[in-house]
């Protein structure tokens, strides 16, 4: 039997399997677009983890499938919202929109939620501000955060504080941003706030203070547990590069 015919039969068999198990999208397209390689990918991603099912295998499968079809969850959540328009469903879709860089759409969903009696919550206002910042509208993010503080004065969030500092920096209010970063450096979990503080100090010409911030951070993190250093590896690398620049 010719090899081409064998490959065709294999592809058709796997496409049929994908259709029967609810996996037709995107696998039919992938298998047809890349004969044999697409079939091998389907076997590796879908069938082998199914045959050797374990939490680790399922997670690996989800990661690979997400790379092959990054908008699969977006479509699923969109369909769920179309069927049942609840705050939970809309918030889940908004979060996925933000993950995909669809910040304007995410903002629209959060704005809709905030107008609902049961959706009037500071967490959704913060998410809206994050979407505005992601959409490169830091001034709008600042306005949303200022309004959040007026409506919910007791709301306390390190993430909101960091976003506020970053938005101030983006709109050029550098002195205010420095004050916010300085306050954050004392309590923000992780290294991001201190690294951003040090980088802004360098930007405004306060290099000696910046080096002190980076040095203190790196000394502190050398004493931290390994898992914590690993979690902050990206920011620690930036701090090290800033010191050696």
State percent of the chain over pLDDT 90.
63
Closest alpha carbon to 129 in 151, 150, 106, 154: 106
Give the pLDDT confidence score for residue 62 in this predicted structure. 59
Confidence of residue 37 (pLDDT cuts 50, 70, 90): confident
CA angle (236, 242, 245) in 5-degree steps: 140
Q: Is the pLDDT of residue 78 over 60?
A: yes
Altogether, the residues listed in the chain come to a count of: 245
Give the pLDDT confidence score for residue 101 in this predicted structure. 95
Mean pLDDT of 204-214: 96
Is the Cα dihedral 222, 240, 165, 228 positive or negative? negative
Q: 10 Å Cβ neighbour count for 54? A: 9
Mean pLDDT of the chain: 88
* DSSP single-letter state for residue 34: S
Q: Is the pLDDT of residue 15 over 70?
A: yes
Q: Is the pLDDT of residue 1 over 80?
A: no
Q: Is the pLDDT of residue 69 over 90?
A: no
Give the pLDDT confidence score for residue 51 in this predicted structure. 62
Give the pLDDT confidence score for residue 194 in this predicted structure. 96
Mean pLDDT of 48-76: 67
| Gap between the Cα atoms of 157 and 43, Å rounded | 45
Q: Is the pLDDT of residue 11 over 70?
A: yes
Mean pLDDT of 175-198: 95
* DSSP single-letter state for residue 101: T
pLDDT in tens, 176-187: 999 999 999 989
Confidence of residue 172 (pLDDT cuts 50, 70, 90): very high
């Amino acid at each position: 039997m010719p090899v081409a015919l064998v490959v065709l039969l294999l592809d058709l068999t796997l496409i049929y399997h994908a259709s029967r198990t609810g996996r037709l999208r995107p696998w039919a397209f992938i298998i047809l677009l890349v004969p044999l390689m697409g079939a091998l990918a389907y076997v590796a991603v879908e069938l082998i983890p199914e045959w050797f099912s374990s939490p680790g295998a399922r997670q690996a499968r989800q990661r690979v499938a997400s790379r092959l079809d990054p908008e699969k969850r977006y479509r699923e959540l969109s369909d769920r919202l179309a069927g049942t328009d609840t705050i939970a469903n809309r918030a889940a879709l908004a979060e996925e929109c933000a993950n995909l860089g669809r910040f304007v759409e995410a903002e629209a969903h959060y704005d809709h939620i905030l107008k609902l009696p049961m959706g009037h919550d500071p967490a959704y206002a913060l998410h809206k501000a994050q979407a505005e910042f992601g959409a490169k509208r830091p001034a709008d993010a600042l306005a949303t955060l200022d309004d959040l503080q007026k409506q919910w004065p007791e709301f306390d969030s390190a993430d909101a504080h960091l976003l506020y500092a970053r938005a101030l920096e983006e709109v050029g209010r550098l002195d205010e941003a420095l004050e916010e970063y300085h306050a954050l450096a004392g309590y923000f979990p992780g290294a991001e706030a201190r690294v951003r503080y040090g980088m802004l100090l360098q930007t405004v010409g306060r290099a000696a203070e910046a080096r002190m911030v980076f040095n203190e951070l790196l000394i502190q993190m050398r004493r931290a547990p390994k898992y914590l250093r690993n979690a902050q590896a990206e920011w620690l690398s930036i701090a090290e590069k800033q010191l050696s620049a």
